[in-house]
Structure 1
């Protein structure tokens, strides 16, 4: 009987548990010239969480990574640029680490090779609060006509 009660508790706990999703992503574009656009990928971060930079020291948390699908319709120009953010000592990793609170913007310039372009990709990231860290994954798609 005790095993059945434990099993019932576990099943109901799993059914009622929340999936943590402390970052919401959105996209926009800014025309720079006839052939160049800035893709802006923005993160809205829940209070008490922070999102890590594109570059973190070895031995630190997972960085934010943008993976663009290969396409003959455009080319990436330069590297992804991120907001200033905050750099602080993290006692868990024992490193100075750059991170973002509340929001962050990431910008990638592209050069069009055709008139209509679909830019798609993936975002891999990690967010943490004082109690835990959550790895995250999301897709993005931006169409330029």
Structure 2
């Protein structure tokens, strides 16, 4: 009888450990002043092996593309659009289309025009990540990046 309870206990422990929330992407942020009145904000996604994140540009219908929103502030103005390196492209059966994506890591950049000496760039990144086996629901991650 004790062995049955031990087996059930071990089984429950296994299911509890394997039902943890997947977090295959981590976000990091930095800013660099490029002059007294300009700066560049860097937003980096680091992905676990086997996972990919979708690019900002997507042809036709498909997965949720990565997009950025910035909270307006008197201390800065955005200069241009968020830029990123050229993405990889492949056909994905799940979406029945070619998709643009990044593996391992990608750094997005936004140029800023400063209207004062210091600023804090706040906003959010919306994204979707997938592996060859599954896709996670679209997510949003808020950020706050000080520029000194």
TM-score category by the smaller chain? 0.7 to 0.9
2:144 to 124, 136, 141: 141
Deviations 1:44-87 (A, max 9, x none): 00110000001112311001111111111100000000112211
What does residue range 46-65 of structure 1 map to in structure 2 within 5 Å?
46-65=48-67
Q: Which moved more, 1:81-90 or 1:104-113?
A: 81-90
CA-atom RMSD, angstroms? 1.9
The answer to whether the 8 A contact 2:55-2:65 is kept is yes
Measure, in 1, the Cα distance between the counterparts of 2:99 and 2:17: 36
The answer to whether the 8 A contact 2:32-2:147 is kept is no
TM-score, length basis structure 1: 0.85
Residue 95 of structure 1 and its aligned partner are, at CA, apart by 1.4
Measure, in 1, the Cα distance between the counterparts of 2:77 and 2:69: 13
Determine which structure has more spread, i.e. the larger CA radius of gyration: 2
Measure, in 2, the Cα distance between the counterparts of 1:92 and 1:15: 29
Is there any run of 5+ residues in structure 1 with no aligned partner, and where? Answer: 1-8
TM-score, length basis structure 2: 0.84
4+ aligned runs moved over 2 Å, structure 1:
12-16
| 2:122 alignment counterpart | 120
Measure, in 1, the Cα distance between the counterparts of 2:147 and 2:132: 40
Residue 14 of structure 1 and its aligned partner are, at CA, apart by 7.0
Q: Secondary structure at the match of 1:133?
A: coil
What does residue range 1-145 of structure 1 map to in structure 2 within 5 Å?
17-134=19-136, 135-145=138-148
